[in-house]
Structures are given as structure tokens and as C-alpha cells.
Chain A
């Protein structure tokens, strides 16, 4: 069964705006990861946050993790048209990842 549930399912914004996507999960995790998928291609790993971390940054990406609420958020600042993609959270507990349903982000130029 799916572990992560992303919210919203789809998001459309203008270039330069910030995009926030949320992920909720159900069981204990070792880490939570975010991946990007461009138009039905392979996934690209964006960022990993461990269960003992609360916030992490990578370039224009900011990820938060609240283990008490079993939720995470991904913030993309100053969005660009090239950020248009689907974004998935994935939870890691043992050796395999469990992916959420994804958020489809469209950044309009």
C-alpha cells in the first residue's frame, strides 16, 4: 500500500512564485525523500531528510519534516518554467522505498 500522500495533487503557479507541496505518511520512517519526474521519464533524487532532522535546504529547495504529525513539506522558491514536473515523496524504513501519489506542478512562464 502507498505510504505517502501528497497534497495537492496538482498545482499551477506563475514563474517566480513559490511552490509548496505536502506529504503525509502513516508509519515510522528512517528518512523521507523527494524525487522529481519530468513528463513520464525517470525519477531524479532531490533531497533526503532523516527522521532526526527538522529542516533541510538544497539550493532553491527547502524540506521540513514533522515526525509528530507524520508530514513533510517541499518548498521550491522562485520557481522557473523548468521546475514543471511531478514531485513524489518516498519514505524509507528498511531497504525499499514507498512512494506517494505525487504532485503535478506546472510553472507558467
Chain B
């Protein structure tokens, strides 16, 4: 298994500001992902965080809005930029431990409310 922590666990932010969410894993992992879960909805993949290179974004998500860093194999950040109320969601990071691993371990999530 993998123990994943996210900071902050929740935040209330003002429109137009930015928030950086941190994801820390207790061991080196091959893959890290960032998801968004809008209220009452399922999970939507934002991007795959690549160590040492630019993240790979899914359709509908762009780097200017959701810049991602992954400086090493245990840590990643997601920034939600220039926030609007539509960005109010739970943001989750997940990891795959080994190359070819089939399932993901999820962090506890960051609950973001934008006023």
C-alpha cells in the first residue's frame, strides 16, 4: 500500500486567487495523478504528473489554469489558478506504486470552496 497525505485538507478562497495543493507519498511511486471531483459528481482526471518534465493534461484542462510540479518520485503539487466558484471541488491525488501496477492509491482529498 501507499500512505498519501494532502495539504491543505480544505480551504475557502476568494475569486481570482490561486491555491497550491501538495501531495506527499511515503514511498517512491512511478505514477502520480490529479483528479477533480465536482460536488455530487464522479472523478475526472486532470493530468498525469511526470517527474522532471511537464505534466500530461487531459482534454479540457490546461497548464495555465492547473500548473503541476513533480520534483521527485514522492511529491507533487497542483495549483488552481485564478479561481472562480466553478472551481469548487474536491481535488485528489493518486499514485500507482510500480510500473504496470493496476490500481491506484488515493490521497484524502482537498476540499476547495471558492467564494
Contacts and interface: CB of A to CB of B under 8 A. Distances in A.
Contacts, number: 49
B110 to A, nearest CB: 10
B104 A97 contact: yes
B111 A40 contact: yes
A88 interface: yes
Interface size bracket, B side: 20 to 34
Interface in B48-81: 48
B103 A42 contact: no
A92 B107 contact: no
A81 interface: no
Interface residues of A, number: 21
B13 interface: no
Interface stretch (A11-19, A52-60, A68-76, A98-106): A98-106
Interface string B5-30: 00000000000000000000000000
Interface of B: 4, 31, 33, 37, 41-45, 48, 90, 92, 94, 96, 102-109, 111
Interface of A: 2, 31, 33, 35, 40-45, 48, 88, 92, 95-102
